[in-house]
Chains A and B, each alone.
Chain A
Amino acid sequence: MQNTLTYIFLFPLLIALVMLFIPAERWKVFRRLSFAAVAIQLVLSVILMINFDQSLVPESWEGAFQFVEKANWINMSLGSIGTISIQYYLGVDGISMPLVALSSFVLLIGVISSWNIEEKAKGYHILYLVLSSSIIGCFIALDFFLFYLCFEFMLLPMFFLIGIWGGSRRSYASIKFFLYTLLGSLFILVVMIGLYLSVVDGDSSTFSMVKMLDGAYASDTVLDPGSPQLIFGYSARVLAFIFLIIGFGIKLPAVPVHTWLPDAHVEAPTPISVVLAGLLLKVGAYGLLRIAYGIFPDVAIDFSGFVAIIGVISILYGGMNALAQRDLKRMVAYSSVSHMGFVLVGLGSITSVGFSGSLFHMISHGLISPALFLIAGVIYDRTGNRQMENFSGLAAKMPVYTFFMAVFFFAGLGLPGLSGFVGELMVLMGAFGSSQFSLWIGILSTLGIAVSAAYFLWTIQRMFYGKYFVRESAWESSMFDLTAREKLMLIPLTILVIAMGIYPRLVLDYSNETINFFIQQFSIGQP
């Protein structure tokens, strides 16, 4: 198990380096190399999952991580100020393990979905592999600096992947995406510096997230909970928490900082939408859970009602907007906003079932939303159009497509037996059981399951039921049912969504002990 995390992390990057030396004309080589790189990543994550000790009961965050790799990376002397020491520090616990597995799986689906990209294939696949490494890096980095590096590094390939291979308004969408996320990152950067100045490993300051989680503050530093310092009349910890909520909230995205998402999704090519919805949003949620809630439990407990209210607004507002859409992909994009709201409600509840529900919902949404974007992509690949009113009665013409559509639409609307239900149910159990806020937050979140049914069923009625019809006769010839490649992507997703819906412990057994330990931090943190 030695160094497996490093291999998972850096292998795609290595292949991307190799690609640089291959002539661009041989475009088929790139997709095969990409596939191989990500497939090996997936195999390694499965090996990790098998070897992961689910029953490990952590005593401290230090002991919660498994497969830890630690090395000094950068040591820079700054003269009288001291030294900056950055570590190459990797590890996974019960929260990040499922996310690592999800990432490598969704990235593989993304490669398969990229199979027919011929235009500038070299650049595309190099960027894609850089993206793969940085996404995984976000989930396994235990050094804040390394995390931040990966977090920022996701931006770059994403910007180009949308801006070059995207739809007609791609430059608008990619710049919007870039600026929004960059703004978020700045907030996180400030907190990172604050934490570096406050947390010590032995005598020297450290970026180690584990030390931050365990609360190894030097006394009277800016973020020390015991410090009496105020900034503009607020405790620095409160400000730091709010900065993190904004920073990761943009990535999540939470209403009202969500508007980059629909544009980015609509303009992004299908595989990039898959990765964006499946993984990038989860990085935001993971950041909230690990950093905002993990490092600032004492502040989180005061702000849990606020977080949950943002979650409820996201659920209902995102759902209402999804209902208003005529573009299939934009509808799915807004449904993502709505679904990620459940993650916030779960976090806000500060109960173990709510946290587990949030994590489960992240994984489940990480499977459902890629599938929904693939489904939107099927129609777009065939016709170059996604407007709902241009299609009707597809069920008669494309029965296999309709079957998969039904599975994922119903998964999206939270049908029991599919994974979407379990996540929502657990989050709601947390919300109703929470002592942090009133019953009405739970009741309003529950309304979300009626709203999601409304937009998914309306889409089924408009596009799949009724008499067969497509707007342009030129599309007629291309309205064939799913190809083998499309089935190859949707079948594994279907199996996982059903398996997780029936037996949620597939995921929860990994996270259970870690989350129980996590929740204990809140009772200790309380005055």
Chain B
Amino acid sequence: MDGVGTKWWPYKHKGSVNEVLIISLLFLPLAGGVFGMLFKNTSYSIGGIGLSFAASLLVIINSIEFNTAIQWLPDYSLGIKLDSTAAILICLVTLISLLVHTFSLEYMREDDGKHRYFAKLGLFTFSMIGLLLADHLILLFVFWELVGLTSYLLIGFWYKKDGIPASARLSFMVNRIADVALLAGILMINNSGSLNISELSGTWLFLPSILVAIGAFGKSAQLPFSGWLTKAMVGPTPVSALIHAATMVAAGVYLLFRVAPFMHESTLIIVALTGTFTALYGGLCALFQHDIKKVLAYSTISQLGYMVMGIGVGAGSASIFHLFTHAFFKAGLFLGAGAIIHYLHQVTKADAQDMRNMGGLKKALPWTYSTFLVCALALTGIPFFSGFMSKEGIIIAGWEWAEQIGAWAYIVPDVGLITAFLTALYVGRMVLLVFYSENRLEEKIVAFSENLSLKVPLIVLALGSFWFVFDWNPFAHESRLSGYWSSTPSHSSDSISLIVMILSTLLAISGLVLAYSFFKPGSNYEQSFSKLEVGKFKLAFNGFYLVALYQSIGRGFSRFSQFTFAVDQMVVDGFIHFVGVGSVVISKVIALIDRFMVDGPVNLCGHISAFVGKRVAGLSSRDIQTQLAWLLAGVILILSWILFF
């Protein structure tokens, strides 16, 4: 990758300068956040992430590649590598992070803990960049855990509110359990050679490869781990945009993309099926939510499902493309939702995330409306928007993959198409409920100034959702960026791509039409859609009770811990007490024996001699003459005994 723009960065071949560039790229967001918290000034955070983004642009423009290793343990080095894939994704992360920082300036303006908030955002950005720079799987795991930590801290950001601490813990625990699998998988591979991604070779056995895949499923909220992502929605909304939509949850997809060439083939089929059903699951659940953030969360789960499906069917390049486009339009949707919530918080006391309290917001929030609409169309997969291009790539690859695998495998592209229809349906429903029809609040809609720090990120993300950012041809399912992460452009047969494109466009449009017929302003359905929790849709409303399942597993676990503690108290310690009490009893018995049987005869002798002594004592008298006489008598007695016997 010999660069074009050496004039921008004259030090292309001087390693040390590149090192400085990459170190600042990595550490500036963290340093900005920490200084921002220490000096209570948000401009440090913005400056840090801004400079980091600038550095990542320099890396891209100059095609800087970088490779080094740190000797972390004796005789054990961890590789760090900046290749073009990492570089473009770092650019994406820092850009979205910068936009979210900007948006948060307004969103968190009134919050007491905003400096703490920006510090955590900085820590997150640092960890995410680190994850992308890591070449070694252990180093990747280090940052993997750190992004999990920041996710936990930010979900629990408003820790005083009811339910939030429990949600944060649940999210972390679900991730942690998947991480156990990931770590075990990595360590199994550790025995058979280097863990540097660039030096991996051969094919892994089934067990380690499925364990690594499970780790990725956890982070990317695939079934059966999907529930944590909906719980994560209690965090501040810009955080949802950055961490729980655009970047961190995509880390699982990124990991799968990197290791897919070494995966066991059965694992890849499991990966494809998991992604497929997760996509369907997310789409179904998103349709039956009241909470706008939950709709978006389930939508994220569904879109991540597409990406994982893409990895499984061997279309890693298309998956990363979808990761890229999704980051823009989903971050745009979340930030849009954030603007809506921010607005409603100022107008009403009612639940600001509940779509039943929205409606007619088009007039109040014109900028939010138009950008939201663009991003929503991109999510739907309508031609001329980015989502169409990337999603087509995955479904087409799925179709071609199914042709090779066998008839049953068509379930993968078919479900992909069905999900495309569901996507259009829930997106249509959401947009209609939120922006169209009448205001359902008691309070009147008032004009709201969408200031620059809200507006600019929304506009940038909406612009990024158009086709031309990725390719001039709106029907291409490759991107001009694809060269960054894939050296071999995929060649798909034109007939299949034509069929898929027509099918999915038709499905998307019919989904939108159907949504309109249900949720058009003034329709009956709109009045009755407030009963999802109890009606026949409660299964989907509750996300098929995945969270309830986790909670009951957690309760069972906790009950089991009570049991082991009882064992510890009664059995283990009980045995010790038994031994203790037993030895006290034995020693008491020995004491009794000692007193009566050993001491008894001794005392008896004593008593006898005391008795005799007393009797004999009477014989003696006080005057010395008598005593002498007795003495003499005694001596004679003894002498005569000696002499005569």
Contact = CB atoms under 8 A, between A and B. Distances in A.
Contacts of B141: 416
Given A461-B165, A505-B73, A416 B142 contact: yes
Interface stretch (A104-112, A117-125, A146-154, A423-431): A423-431
Contact of A321 (B145, B159, B565, B576): B565
A429 B146 contact: no
A336 to B, nearest CB: 14
Given A395-B159, A450-B179, 7 more contacts: A421-B142, A426-B73, A449-B183, A465-B164, A466-B159, A505-B73, A509-B74
A432 interface: yes
B191 A447 contact: no
Contacts of B191: 432-433
Contacts of A421: 142, 145
Contact of B190 (A258, A433, A512): A433
Q: Which of A180, A395, A460 has the most CB of B within 10 A?
A: A460
| Chain A interface size, under 10 / 10 to 19 / 20 to 34 / 35 or more | 35 or more
Q: Which 7 A-B pairs have the closest CB atoms?
A: A465-B165, A324-B565, A416-B142, A323-B561, A324-B561, A432-B187, A465-B159
A425 B138 contact: yes
Q: Which of B143, B152, B162, B564 has the most CB of A within 10 A?
A: B564
Contact of A449 (B138, B165, B176): B176
9 contacts: A180-B576, A321-B564, A324-B561, A415-B146, A416-B142, A421-B142, A426-B73, A449-B179, A465-B160
Contact of A256 (B75, B138, B572): B572
Interface stretch (A43-51, A131-139, A221-229, A451-459): A451-459
Interface in A133-169: none
Interface string A416-445: 110001100110110011000001001100
Contacts of B76: 353
Nearest to A317: B564
A442 B557 CA distance: 21
A442 to B, nearest CB: 7
Contacts of B149: 410, 415
B176 A467 contact: no
Contacts of A325: 565
Contact of A320 (B146, B172, B560, B573): B560
Contacts of A467: 160
A317 B566 CA distance: 12
Interface string B151-162: 010001001101
Interface in B541-577: 557-558, 560-562, 564-565, 568, 572-573, 576
Given A325-B565, A465-B164, A466-B160, A508 B74 contact: yes
A393 interface: yes
Contact of A428 (B165, B187, B564, B580): B187
B72 interface: yes
Interface of A: 176, 179-180, 255-256, 258-259, 317, 320-321, 323-325, 353, 356, 393, 395-396, 410, 415-417, 421-422, 425-426, 428-429, 432-433, 439, 442-443, 446-447, 449-450, 453-454, 457-458, 460-461, 464-468, 503-505, 508-509, 512
B166 interface: yes
B169 A458 contact: yes
Nearest to A458: B169
A98 to B, nearest CB: 14
Given A449-B176, A458-B169, A429 B187 contact: yes
A454 B557 contact: yes
Q: Which of A176, A321, A353 has the most CB of B within 10 A?
A: A321
A464 B160 CA distance: 9
A355 B172 CA distance: 30
A415 B127 CA distance: 13
Q: Which of B188, B561, B580 has the most CB of A within 10 A?
A: B561
B553 to A, nearest CB: 11
A421 B141 CA distance: 11
A432 B190 contact: yes
Contacts of A466: 159-160, 162, 165
B184 interface: yes
Contacts of A395: 159
B399 to A, nearest CB: 38
A503 B177 CA distance: 26
Nearest to A511: B74
B180 interface: yes
A416 B145 contact: yes
A446 B159 contact: no
A320 B564 contact: yes
Contacts of A428: 183, 187
B58 interface: no
Nearest to A433: B191
A395 B560 CA distance: 29
Nearest to A509: B74
Contacts of A458: 169
Contacts of A433: 187, 190-191
| Chain B interface size, under 10 / 10 to 19 / 20 to 34 / 35 or more | 35 or more
Given A259-B576, A321-B568, A417-B146, A432 B172 contact: no
A180 B76 CA distance: 41
A7 to B, nearest CB: 30
A354 to B, nearest CB: 12
A262 to B, nearest CB: 8
Contacts of A320: 560-561, 564-565
A450 B173 contact: yes
A259 B568 contact: yes
Contacts of A256: 572
A442 B141 CA distance: 17
Contacts of A353: 73, 76
Nearest to A434: B191
A112 to B, nearest CB: 26
Nearest to B138: A425
A323 B190 contact: no
Interface in B10-50: none
Interface string B167-194: 0110011001101100110011011000
Nearest to B554: A454
A412 to B, nearest CB: 13
Given A321-B561, A417-B142, A429-B187, A461 B72 contact: no
Given A450-B176, A465-B159, A415 B562 contact: no
Contacts of A509: 74
Nearest to A175: B580
Contact of B180 (A447, A457, A465, A505): A447
A466 B376 CA distance: 36
Contacts of B190: 429, 432-433
Interface string B61-104: 00000000001111110000000000000000000000000000
A324 B587 CA distance: 36
Nearest to A316: B564
A61 B150 CA distance: 47
Q: Which of B73, B143, B146, B572 has the most CB of A within 10 A?
A: B73
B169 A457 contact: yes
A505 B74 contact: yes
B156 A465 contact: yes
B171 to A, nearest CB: 10
Contacts of B74: 356, 505, 508-509, 512
Contact of A259 (B146, B162, B558, B573): B573
A368 B138 CA distance: 23
A439 B184 CA distance: 10
B165 A450 contact: no
A450 B172 CA distance: 10
B565 to A, nearest CB: 4
A450 B169 contact: no
Contacts of A447: 180
A324 B179 CA distance: 23
A176 B173 CA distance: 36
Q: Which of B75, B162, B184, B576 has the most CB of A within 10 A?
A: B184
Given A321-B565, A457-B172, A508-B74, A396 B160 contact: yes
